[in-house]
Amino acid sequence: MENIYVRHLELLGYEKRFFPSQHYVYMLMVKWSDLSEKLIYRTYPEIHTFHKSLKDMFPIESGQIEKRDRIIPSLPAPRWLWESEKSRETTKSTLAEYCQKVISLPPHISRCKHLSSFFKVRPEDENPPAPNTLKRAETFLVSRDQARDVASEISAPIILDTYRVIADFEKSTKYEITLHTGDLVEIVEKNENGWWFCQYESKRGWIPASYLEPLDGPDEAEDVEPNYEGDEHITIQAYKAEQDDEISLEVGETVEVIHKLLDGWWVVRKGDETGYFPSLFLSKAGKRERLNPGGQKPPPRRSTIRNAKSIHNKSRQRLSQETYRRNSRRYFQQKGSRLSEPQRNSKNAAKSPLKERKNQDNIPEMSGTSSESELKKEAPVIPPRPSPELILERCTDNTCKKVSIHKSPSSSSS
């Protein structure tokens, strides 16, 4: 399988933070070759350290041997940063141009493992940062005109998905954004935990996906189809069910995720029990534990939002928990029948993959002495279709009257 690589990199702005001390982080939108998009945060010293290591990895392309051979763009050292407002704007413009030029380098550089690992999303990027009660962070965004001027020479403009707000949302932390019913926002990042990063006019922030709807109709088609085989996850935080269709779980329990939904509430299965559970409190089994350092709360569910006003007549169709349980039992029954068949005959267990693929319907194979007629005997017998007279004989009087009425016009016309 081919490794994914960064296909687009754009500077969205920078944020001035005051905890644990005053510093700046840059907001970068990273688009990958597998069509995923992630918002990451990096400090300028981190970016400059990456730049120096990239030059060391490619001494010819960085001009260390011959200056005329240099194709890796230059980047000023961080000691010149933040001396004045003019220097901040200059650095922001320089970094935006650097991002575009790095991605436009030859594939052996732009797709190298070092570059991909640096721009890969980190745990602190994936979840909104914990609230800081000391001082409010300040966010500065790159103007659209400036971003378009930088990107126009290298790549096409970015088109973001537009969604509509269905109910008033009041932010509870500085990283969220206050929006009102009917506002149209552009989605910068769709996070699996149900918190989406959006842009409204000149403001940006996080909002629950349950408060949003696409303009062209209900977005149930964007949800992944149920997978009753299940994907094992481990709970990293306990949750007590608040609704009848939710499930209560303690820390460290292993569950199977059978349906991943966009609003961050996934359907999980624990034994015979199924229910909605916040994906924010789940970590994939076998992977490094995903932490929730800020004690972030799961987003509200659509069913709990008051005064929701949709512009679409047809609402999203959600499966009931009884449907999930019934389909889960059916899956296990089918799986059990498939597994028991090879165990009956040791010869069948040693079949080649090609023979197994041809015999997916569990049709018994013919031996050398059996004939084709013996195989047909095992097939179920289809009963003959009853005659019209027999059908009318077993129908009610009301049905017979209706049949006679339909027959009389046809007979008169003939």
Give the three-class secondary structure for 12: strand
pLDDT of residue 51: 94
Q: What is the mean pLDDT of residues 355-383?
A: 49
CATH number at residue 115: 3.30.1520.10
Query: Is 370 contained in some domain?
Result: no
Q: If you ran DSSP here, which 8-state letter would residue 223 be given?
A: S
The segment with the largest mean pLDDT, out of 4-18, 143-157, 344-358, is 4-18
Rounded to 5 degrees, φ, ψ at 44 are -65, -40
pLDDT of residue 295: 61
Q: What is the mean pLDDT of residues 342-346?
A: 54
Q: How do strand 195-200 and strand 138-141 relate by DSSP bridges?
A: unpaired
Query: Is 88 contained in some domain?
Result: yes
Whether the pLDDT of residue 179 is over 90: the answer is yes
Query: Percent of the chain having pLDDT more than 70?
Result: 67
Query: Is 414 contained in some domain?
Result: no
Query: Is 259 contained in some domain?
Result: no
Query: Is 33 contained in some domain?
Result: yes
- The band of 138, judged by pLDDT with boundaries at 50, 70 and 90, is low
Q: What is the mean pLDDT of residues 43-72?
A: 91
- The band of 220, judged by pLDDT with boundaries at 50, 70 and 90, is very low
Query: What's the rounded Cα separation, in Å, for the pair 360 and 362?
Result: 6
- Greater confidence (221 vs 18) lies with 18
Whether the pLDDT of residue 22 is over 80: the answer is no
- The band of 362, judged by pLDDT with boundaries at 50, 70 and 90, is very low
Query: Is 12 contained in some domain?
Result: yes
Q: Give the C-alpha distances (Å, rounded to integers) separating 68 from 61, 62, 65, 114, 404.
A: 9, 10, 9, 24, 97
Whether the pLDDT of residue 254 is over 90: the answer is yes
Could you tell me the residue range of the domain that residue 35 belongs to?
6-141
Domain count, the chain: 1
Query: Is 220 contained in some domain?
Result: no
Whether the pLDDT of residue 358 is over 80: the answer is no
- Greater confidence (164 vs 398) lies with 164
Whether the pLDDT of residue 258 is over 60: the answer is yes
pLDDT of residue 148: 45
Query: Is 133 contained in some domain?
Result: yes
- Greater confidence (79 vs 275) lies with 275
pLDDT of residue 401: 72
Rounded to 5 degrees, φ, ψ at 111 are -115, 15
Structure tokens at 387: 């005659």
For the chain, the average pLDDT equals: 75
- The band of 277, judged by pLDDT with boundaries at 50, 70 and 90, is very high
